[in-house]
Structure 1
Amino acid sequence: MSLDEDPMLTSTEESLVRMMWDEVFSSWLNIALVAAIFFLIYKILSPTKEPRPAEPERDLPPLKKQDMDLKQLREYDGSDNGGKGRVCVAVNGKIFDVTRGRRFYGPGGPYSGFAGRDASRGLATFSVEPVSDDYDDLSDLKPSELEQVKEWELQFNEKYDYVGRLLKPGEIKGSYSDDESDISEVDHDKKD
């Protein structure tokens, strides 16, 4: 006699299956848990599609090197207004074109509060809240926070294109030549 023909075993298997079936469907919570398990198994085993970017990346020519004050920097917040969709962020007195990282810094991104602004204080204090519209000299930051800003500046410098300096109120713009990043001050009598 083989095991397949043993009536006692068949009866025990049926009894076990019936007991599990009754247990699973005895409560709405159990039904919900079983449904969640099957859904998760489906998600794990099903092929995943690459998420499409919310907005197609635009290949923009490099931004012309220029110094900006806070008002001019504000135009580069990722909107299609004055900055034509570009995103720039200032860190430690330097402005970087972060348009390549617009899904982070552009509208709707987790760091969109930094777009078109001086992000130094937010980066120093690990805060992504929108920053002030006033010039911030960072003089009240702790030494460890100032060190943090310098580290962020180095990271931005490695990853993004340098645009120019963030001007203090009343500071004169420099002019950049097309083939070098050196600046020379413009006429001191004119303020842009």
Structure 2
Amino acid sequence: MDSKTKESAQADPSVLSKSAVLLQRLLNDIWTSPINLVLTALILCLLVKLLLVKRKPSSNPSKKHVLAQLPKMPKVDLTIQQLRGYNGIESNGRILTAIYGDIFDVSKRSDLYGLGGSYSLFAGRDATRALSKMQLDPSLFSNEYDDLLDLTDKERATARSWHEDFREKYDIVGRLLKPGEKPSIYPSEETVVDGDYDLNNKKRE
């Protein structure tokens, strides 16, 4: 642009205020058209929401599950009625479930088996039948001892597969007792023996 053109542009107010004129026309179009006014309001609302979402602090800064921290449970055999008490609510957070006669302590995954969890039906119950059928149906969790005699071979295999999976993840803390069956007496942590010596390295009589 030569000096004459520059002088002409500087002398012409319409050139100097071109942006202002365009902005004024845009605002006039918005205010004089109800449709444009509504669209503008929606766009502004969306922008505000996007800004709020970006600035909102995370309610769960860690993606890791908040797991129950409980001491290791000593082994104990339970009846189906006693097992019901270990549902995470009546047992200070302890959650047990039974599969094929073994009782597993699943307390460390209270996010799954505790109240509101995906598998909360397992808490304090014998889950064998439900796992054998791969169904989370409340009717499959009996309040009485279930002998499982009517399961098919395929269902038994499915339940045993789940049993092995649980064994790899959770501690077995006892056996589910049959009606009239007496519980086993397990040695406590202090009296567990290894060979001919106990944990205090004292020779057994």
TM-score (structure 1 length as normaliser): 0.67
Q: Is residue 103 from structure 1 mapped to residue 115 from structure 2 by the alignment? A: no
Q: Is residue 50 from structure 1 mapped to residue 60 from structure 2 by the alignment? A: yes
8 A contact 1:94–1:164 mirrored in 2: yes
Q: What is aligned with 1:145?
A: 155
Q: Is residue 163 from structure 1 mapped to residue 173 from structure 2 by the alignment? A: yes
**Superposition deviation, residue 61 in structure 1:** 2.0
Q: What is aligned with 2:122?
A: 114
Q: Which of 69, 77, 80 is the aligned partner of 2:87?
A: 77
Q: Give 3-state SS (helix, strand or coil) of 1:35's partner.
A: helix
**Superposition deviation, residue 89 in structure 1:** 0.7
Structure 1: runs of 5+ lacking an equivalent: 181-192
Q: Which has the larger radius of gyration?
A: 2
RMSD (Å), alpha carbons: 3.6
8 A contact 2:68–2:109 mirrored in 1: no
**Superposition deviation, residue 65 in structure 1:** 0.6
Q: Which of 164, 172, 175 is the aligned partner of 2:182?
A: 172
Question: After superposition, what is the alpha-carbon deviation per residue over 1:8-41, rounded to whole angstroms, capped at 9, x for unaligned?
Answer: x7766765677678546437xx966863564256
**Superposition deviation, residue 46 in structure 1:** 4.0
Structure 2: runs of 5+ lacking an equivalent: 1-8, 10-14, 194-205
**Superposition deviation, residue 117 in structure 1:** 0.7
Of all paired residues, the percent bearing the same amino acid is 35
8 A contact 1:98–1:160 mirrored in 2: yes
Q: Give 3-state SS (helix, strand or coil) of 1:147's partner.
A: helix
- Tell me, in whole angstroms, the C-alpha distance in 2 between the residues paired with 1:129 and 1:6: 74
- Tell me, in whole angstroms, the C-alpha distance in 2 between the residues paired with 1:99 and 1:126: 22
- Tell me, in whole angstroms, the C-alpha distance in 1 between the residues paired with 2:44 and 2:149: 58
Structure with bigger helix share is 2
